[in-house]
Amino acid sequence: MGKKLKLMLLGCGKLSGVIAKALESGLLPEYELVAALSGHNKEKAADFGNEYHCQVYDNVDDLLNLKPDYIVEAASVQAVKDNGEKILSSGSNLVLLSIGALADDSLCQRLKQAAIQGGARLFIASGAVGGFDILRTAVLMGPIKMSIISEKDPQVAANMPLETEGIEDITAKKTIFTGTARQAIEKLPSQMNVAIALALASAGPEKTDIEIQAVPGFEGDRYKIQLEGQQVKTDLNIYSRTSEVAGWSAVAVLRNIVSPVVF
């Protein structure tokens, strides 16, 4: 095997831990974890560096001075806004998990231009869902209708900035939001990465309908995705018990990048 690709992480949280563990287990033999960018919790960041034997920095410039080949963002929409353009224009490729950042059309265009300027690429991980291939294919074939139903644990829903008073005590399924993906990301900027990813891969944020439901006794996340066109109809039902699947989706992207056979 030749020289390994330098991999760095934005964030030292749970999802970054998934990626680091995948490296340790040998699932990403073409990469080496060189460094990570800390968040607000410096103690947690130091523990991350010690556990996974990598440098942890406070400033993205320190990461970029090491000339990383790939950086995986597993932090937040704000981290993308703060660092995305600089990373791409420097020539480092960026794998994105906080896809909700791309709901900002201006930022999306700036990221594209930064990637062109730096000769880099921006990879969008599937996060907690999938089916991007059929969605993108259907769009090419003609007009489509796109809708998403997101089911949530009432305890999780109670912490969303919506009208959810008393939601923990419901005994039947309750709809707590209806609107477009664009409206959803405006109200819930850190919780609608999935909706934006699906919308960008299909009808667009303004033409993708989303409904969020609180379901008694439910744990995890479920997304019911329906696409209908003149020649194609797709129904996807995706359940994940924890958010770890998002971290694993970044691992899948990294494996795909270096694979001789690309899905």
Tokens matching residue 31: 């990469």
Strand bridging mode 144-152 / 70-73: unpaired
d(CA 250, CA 27): 12
Q: Is 128 annotated as a binding residue?
A: yes
Residue ranges in 7-131 assigned as alpha helix (H): 14-24, 42-52, 60-64, 77-89, 105-118
Collapsed DSSP state (helix, strand, coil) of residue 237:
strand
Q: Is 93 annotated as a binding residue?
A: no
Residue in the block written with tokens 């990465």: 193
Pick the closest to residue 73 from 133, 13, 6, 4 (CA basis). 13
Q: Which residues are annotated as a binding site for NAD(+)?
A: 128, 193
